[in-house]
Structure 1
Amino acid sequence: MSSHIKKVKNGNRFLNSRLGFFILVLFLFWAKTYFAYQVEFTLGAKGALQQFLLVVNPLPAGILLFGIALYFRGRLSYWLMLLMDLIQSIWLFANIVYYREFSDFLTFGIIKGSGDVQNNLGKSLAEIIHPIDFIVFLDVIVLILLLSFKIIKIDKRPYKIRNAFAVTVLSFVLMFGEYSIANADRSGLLTRSFDNNYIVKYLGMNEYAAFNAYQTQKESRTRSKAKASDLDSVLNYLKHNQANANVKYFGKEKGKNVFIIHLESFQQFLIDYKVDGKEVTPNLNKFYHGKHTISFDNFYHQVAQGKTSDAEMMLENSLFGLPQGSAMVTYGTQNTFQAAPAILDQHGYTTAAMHGDVPSFWNRENTYKSWGYQYFFDSNYFKEKPSYSVGYGLKDKIFFKDAANYIQQLPQPFYAKLITLTNHYPYILDKQNQSFPATKTGDNTVDPYVQTAHYLDQAFGEFMNYLNKIGLLKNSIVVAYGDHYGISNNHRPAIAQLLNKKSINSYDLAQFQKVPFMIYGNNLKGKIDHTYGGEIDVLPTILHLLGIKDNNTIQFGQDLLSTNRNQIVAFRDGDFVTPEYTVTGGNVYLTKTGEKITPNSEQKKQIQADQNHVNTELSLSDRVILGDLLRFHHLDGFKTVDRSQYNYKPSAGLSSLKERNENEHTSLMDKNGGKSTMGDYKTDAPELKK
């Protein structure tokens, strides 16, 4: 009994010391933060390493911030710790509330840009806040009571500066160690910064706040220096580099629905490719060679670190992604855009994006509002079971079938983008869905690639059969494209085997960056078009097919069907491909033959002119995004997007869709007498047969 009393006294003595109170505050702060991680947020920590980082990540920043108080004396030191705790509690509480509505974390750009965060919330705060949210303030209240009633006494003895400094050093050591482990597990965590959830999951709420503050400050500084006259050089360049619409194709598919089928990580070499005598993608091959499909066999992805997000940026804005990071993540929330969804919305289209992943990935939840998407059907709209998902979200067969249910409800004409997922690195597919042999290169990353590509092809085939059966295909154009490479240049021996070559060089790798781009339209005469182009060229091509003029738009691409396009394909690193030359890695090759050359004076002149063109368009596109220059650009007949008009929560989205159908009566279901067409959708997905 006496030993127990002695332990209690020693415990009280420790808590009555400055260090003891510091550790108590730190522990309570850690406990409530970890509680919020588990209860309030969906961070998706997978595996022992991510779970470990989630447990420890509140500590480094907590040690740093509470440790500041150790440099001060007496009562001030204690109240500083409480103040730090209160500030962090308010930040945590605000993020809990915001996350519940938007599945994402607050940014200082949102706080600063909107003026009033509540304007971003689709419901009143009273409906969003739950009583359990206030638990984040409980430790502050408890600590104040403990001090007020002198259950814990203030230690007035000075705390040694060297000890306080040691605590500060410890916090930075822990932060560095935490970041090193996190970056090893998720390469490019901060440089690519594709999802705020990832930063919080790996590093913590406070580190996320610091990183976001840095990003916001950098963006604000660049934006504040920009002025309307900065557009002059952009407009002058575009005036002299505009490709006229081809009169043969302009308005050829006017008024049609538009499907954008995003083929994840799908490369051109897969078209007509066989393994053991079997076609990897028989359905896409048929589509590629179809009598109403114009397919481009010299079409390249042009992405950098932003990968999928860069592809989306180019496809729907005709603006390049950034040299580092993702433009959608960094600038998608606050920048002004004149994107495809907004343009088509203002031409009478219903616009919708569909994706079987969380809405925060690549900042889609916010960026799509800036682009003017009326609807975003994310993973919250789809029925989920563990067997329905693999890798980054819903399996493609299940996704397409679920997406069809929303497509039949969209008022026509519509613009619908469907983003597939299963053919995503690391190309995982459960055995019940494996119906194709893997390649035998010996590279464990490369070999299953054809299996997930085959699965994607099957899902695409099922979806196309549905569109054809219900009669929607004849009233639509279908654009299918590969967003970026699936097999990186780090797998050269395997790539050589896939291409049936003994070895490959920089030219081969540049040509390996081709991705398919195909446009189906009932009024189009199918052909394989050998024009050289890339993702930057998609938007003007689609607009012209729909009969929409874009003479005054700020778009760096050129209509792929134009007879006077320049055919210079710029890569984000400054390399480029033309029908004559492939310039990559400091070397020059003849594009037709792959022969490496030392350019003569005439060739040097042409190559330098092409290089200047590439450097200019990349830098001018960056200027538009970094300076948010589209806010200064008046586009005739175009109304600037009001982000506050959009709410992607399922309750709001489904309610809006129902209301529009009651008023407009143009959806597929309405045309079908109000009856669902889902009985016409046939899939062999084994998960749906159980």
Structure 2
Amino acid sequence: MVKFFNRLYAKLNTTLGFFILITVTYWLTTYLAYRTKFTLGAETPIQQFIMFINPLPTALLLFGIALYFRGRLAYWLMVIVDLIQTTWLFANILYYREFSDFLSISIVKGSGSVDNNLSKSLAGILHATDLLVYLHIVILIILLLTKLIKVDRRPLKKRFAVTMTVFSLAFMMVDYGLSVRDRSGLLTRTFDNNYIVKYLGLNEYAAFNAYQTQQQATSRERASKSDLKAVQQYLKENPAGENFQYFGKEQGKNVFVFHLESFQQFLIDYKWKGQEVTPNINAFYHDQNTLSFDNFFHQVAQGKTSDAEMMMENSLYGLPTGSAMINYGTSNTFQAAPAILAQHGYTTAAMHGDVPSFWNRGNTYKSWGYQDFFSKSFFPNANKPSNNVGYGLKDKIFLRDSVNYIQQLPQPFYAKVITVTNHYPYLLGKKDADFPKTDTGDNTVDGYVVTAHYLDQAFGEFINYLKKAGLYDNSMIVVYGDHYGISNNHRPAIAKLLGKKSVNNYDLAMFQKVPFMIHAPGVQGGVNHTYGGEIDALPTMMDLLGIKTTGNYIMLGQDLLSTQRNQIVPFRDGNFVTPQYTKVGSQVYDTATGKLMKLTATQKEQVAADQNHVNTVLGLSDKVVTRDLLRFYTPVGFKKVDKSDYDYSVSATKKRLKQEQKEDPTSVQAKNGGKSTLSDYQTDAPELTKSK
């Protein structure tokens, strides 16, 4: 036994021995991360085997680069390559824990747009065991520095290095062959990054994503007007039918789009310890003049909030990777809600209590035609750190301060109000938190009801102001949840919240419902059970306002109130929900009962047809965005947006508002004799009440 270990130790003191050691330790570290840090869904023995071997081909290829060199340089090149790969693994562990997805080049490039207060989020995301991915590197460096492993200065034969490169590439092709045999169309038809990592590996995913990013850059250059024909043909063949009952019902009314951050449908009427978590939103949801949709789903991908905004304002999907607002918001041509409404006599404004670079809003909103954007610099209270939490100004303070600008907007206006306090990691100080945490045992989840309750209180205060200021009865108020607040990685906690022993893929698909409500005076409200998603919001709002979009605008959603909706709800990963079927991967559930189905031949045909529809509409949307196809088409009566028309600086905006009070005295403040209505806003925010 002693001789065996002596021989093994001698082998480790060779370049080849160290190469094998560092490759194996990195390989096993990555595989353990796959099993413990990600939810890749390796179900069958072949999938388990592929997931086990897939870190190895690129490890051999990248570590093998050092074999072309000799001595100390070769050893430290291997360590540096290991450090780079492991850091990529570590970064994805943190990102995946919160977003259930992997980092993309677009996300990394756009990280400056979303890194505000990121340290707080990282503190909540990071687990001590995450740092263990670096343990093998630390040990190897110590072994080298203490010379327990000695550097072999003898050069390897070049043909051995070449052989290792060829072998690793061949191994990579074997992995790919096994993968596409188990999952046909892996790189051509999938919309889910989990599949790529499960089958090919995290490094291969990075390479594929880099290729996709490059393709996006070149696709715009190659696009032509004829590329739009397929989109127009799809819209012609998939009409939603007329909306006779509601079309034009709210014509000329003000429009509020109230953005509920990370707010899920299950919170509606949800009680904890006998208390309603969101009593104000519940009352709004059940109001006799509120159209509420209980089968409405978010459809976001990596872009999260930015994807939701993209769909709500444009009726175009976000991208499968990255954020369309970051990648294309500055350069693309859009025909978005703000521009459409501005050309129908509306004043358009967006309000958000953080910096304009967040999700590239400062540029994107100009492309969308927002006349005003009130961001963090407009809110003096945002300068005090204690008034902020997570990603911006606390909701109660933000909403109260926002009415200072809302009251100055000439009517009719279109105003989007974006809340942020109900955002991961769901932190609130004791002075703001007056609702008990849940007891799921998951620290990420248990604070969710606390911040949701705070958001609800802020919403209630805002609605009360609208009533006092005379805006409630003269406005169409749209309220929606932008995306999930609790990711699918928290299954035990989700089960406990829902009162279940466990949750399956069907439960998680239903968990993606978010509220969508439209309150309008004179409209007979009620809960509508039609199936739809964020892609359908804009056509619904436009029809209520009497602005015909069918046959003119490129909108891929359908009016939720139309008579002949197809009710197919595509998810960005290619799965979908209809009133009949819920498809998650290869599993199909009965939507009504939640039972896993064994499909008949007829049912298989219908599911295949629905899947083809989903793939088609997602693909067409991606072409519109990545190829900037709207630059080739201008709807009848629409004037192209000129971004140079907009200036969101504080001085220019305030000067413009002052001038508008004289030229178009239709604002709430103008009708109040030029006096502010801010005193009508009542809040219990301690930051604003303690000085009174």
The verdict on a shared fold, with TM-score over 0.5 as the criterion, is: yes
Cα distance between partner residues in 2 of 1:170 and 1:252:
67
Alignment of 1:146-545 (within 5 A): 188=103, 190-193=105-108, 194-197=110-113, 218-383=215-380, 384=382, 385-545=384-544
Cα distance between partner residues in 2 of 1:267 and 1:216:
31
CA contact (8 A) 2:117 2:391 kept: no
Hey, what does 1:582 align to over in structure 2? Answer: 582
Shift of the alpha carbon at 1:178? 6.7
Alignment of 1:636-647 (within 5 A): 636-647=636-647
Cα distance between partner residues in 1 of 2:117 and 2:295:
41
Asked if residue 605 in structure 1 is aligned to residue 521 in structure 2, the reply is no
Cα distance between partner residues in 1 of 2:116 and 2:401:
31
Hey, what does 2:147 align to over in structure 1? Answer: none
Shift of the alpha carbon at 1:543? 0.3
Residue deviations 1:146-188 (CA, integer Å, cap 9, x gap): xxxxxxxxxxxxxxx9999999999988876776666566562
Shift of the alpha carbon at 1:644? 1.2
Distance change in 2, residues 1:637/1:597 (3 Å): same
Residue deviations 1:339-379 (CA, integer Å, cap 9, x gap): 00000010011111100111111111111111001111111
Cα distance between partner residues in 2 of 1:624 and 1:471:
41
CA contact (8 A) 1:245 1:544 kept: no
Residue deviations 1:472-517 (CA, integer Å, cap 9, x gap): 1111010000000000100111111111111111100000000000
Cα distance between partner residues in 2 of 1:177 and 1:645:
47
Code of the residue aligned with 2:399 in structure 1: it is F
CA contact (8 A) 1:354 1:378 kept: yes
CA contact (8 A) 2:113 2:359 kept: no
CA contact (8 A) 1:541 1:558 kept: yes
Distance change in 2, residues 1:594/1:219 (3 Å): closer
Cα distance between partner residues in 1 of 2:79 and 2:553:
54
Hey, what does 1:662 align to over in structure 2? Answer: 662
Hey, what does 1:632 align to over in structure 2? Answer: 632
Code of the residue aligned with 1:311 in structure 2: it is A
CA contact (8 A) 2:354 2:375 kept: yes
Code of the residue aligned with 1:675 in structure 2: it is K
Which secondary structure does the structure 1 equivalent of 2:351 belong to?
Answer: strand
Q: Which moved more, 1:391-400 or 1:190-199?
A: 190-199
Code of the residue aligned with 1:622 in structure 2: it is D
Which secondary structure does the structure 1 equivalent of 2:445 belong to?
Answer: coil
Distance change in 2, residues 1:544/1:201 (3 Å): closer
**Identity, % of aligned positions:** 64
Cα distance between partner residues in 2 of 1:560 and 1:219:
32
Shift of the alpha carbon at 1:240? 1.0
Code of the residue aligned with 1:532 in structure 2: it is Y
Distance change in 2, residues 1:633/1:489 (3 Å): same
Residue deviations 1:70-127 (CA, integer Å, cap 9, x gap): xxxxxxxxxxxxxxxxxxxxxxxxxxxxxxxxxxxxxxxxxxxxxxxxxxxxxxxxxx
Residue deviations 1:5-27 (CA, integer Å, cap 9, x gap): xxxxxxxxxxxxxxxxxxxxxxx
Distance change in 2, residues 1:415/1:199 (3 Å): closer
Residue deviations 1:238-295 (CA, integer Å, cap 9, x gap): 0111213311100000000000000000000000000011000000000000011000
Which secondary structure does the structure 1 equivalent of 2:489 belong to?
Answer: helix
Shift of the alpha carbon at 1:428? 0.5
CA contact (8 A) 2:106 2:327 kept: no
Which secondary structure does the structure 2 equivalent of 1:298 belong to?
Answer: strand
Cα distance between partner residues in 1 of 2:424 and 2:278:
18
Shift of the alpha carbon at 1:661? 1.9
CA contact (8 A) 1:189 1:199 kept: no
Residue deviations 1:600-621 (CA, integer Å, cap 9, x gap): 0111111111111111101011
Distance change in 2, residues 1:311/1:563 (3 Å): same
Cα distance between partner residues in 2 of 1:169 and 1:214:
25
Cα distance between partner residues in 1 of 2:344 and 2:614:
32
CA contact (8 A) 2:247 2:546 kept: yes
Residue deviations 1:568-602 (CA, integer Å, cap 9, x gap): 10101111111111111211111111111111011
CA contact (8 A) 1:195 1:360 kept: no
Code of the residue aligned with 1:614 in structure 2: it is V
Cα distance between partner residues in 1 of 2:365 and 2:222:
26
For the aligned residues, what is the CA RMSD? Answer: 2.5
CA contact (8 A) 1:507 1:594 kept: yes
Distance change in 2, residues 1:163/1:432 (3 Å): same
Distance change in 2, residues 1:624/1:678 (3 Å): same
Cα distance between partner residues in 2 of 1:353 and 1:162:
61
Distance change in 2, residues 1:189/1:379 (3 Å): farther
Shift of the alpha carbon at 1:196? 2.9
CA contact (8 A) 2:116 2:391 kept: no
Gaps in structure 2 of 5+ consecutive residues: 1-69, 97-102, 119-208
Cα distance between partner residues in 2 of 1:213 and 1:284:
43
Alignment of 1:667-682 (within 5 A): 667-682=667-682
Cα distance between partner residues in 2 of 1:634 and 1:657:
30
Q: Which moved more, 1:240-249 or 1:341-350?
A: 240-249
Distance change in 2, residues 1:199/1:498 (3 Å): closer
Cα distance between partner residues in 2 of 1:398 and 1:636:
42
Code of the residue aligned with 1:234 in structure 2: it is V
Cα distance between partner residues in 1 of 2:409 and 2:352:
16
Cα distance between partner residues in 2 of 1:431 and 1:345:
43
Alignment of 1:56-71 (within 5 A): none
Distance change in 2, residues 1:254/1:223 (3 Å): same
Code of the residue aligned with 1:471 in structure 2: it is G
Cα distance between partner residues in 2 of 1:605 and 1:316:
34
CA contact (8 A) 1:183 1:189 kept: no
Distance change in 2, residues 1:411/1:229 (3 Å): same
Cα distance between partner residues in 2 of 1:648 and 1:215:
33
Cα distance between partner residues in 2 of 1:313 and 1:292:
27
Code of the residue aligned with 1:229 in structure 2: it is S
Shift of the alpha carbon at 1:195? 3.8
CA contact (8 A) 1:195 1:361 kept: no
Cα distance between partner residues in 2 of 1:375 and 1:214:
37
Cα distance between partner residues in 2 of 1:179 and 1:241:
43
Code of the residue aligned with 1:452 in structure 2: it is T
Hey, what does 2:652 align to over in structure 1? Answer: 652
CA contact (8 A) 2:334 2:368 kept: yes
Distance change in 2, residues 1:567/1:688 (3 Å): same
Which secondary structure does the structure 1 equivalent of 2:255 belong to?
Answer: strand
Residue deviations 1:206-241 (CA, integer Å, cap 9, x gap): xxxxxx999996544110111100111110000111
Number of residue-to-residue matches in the alignment: 522
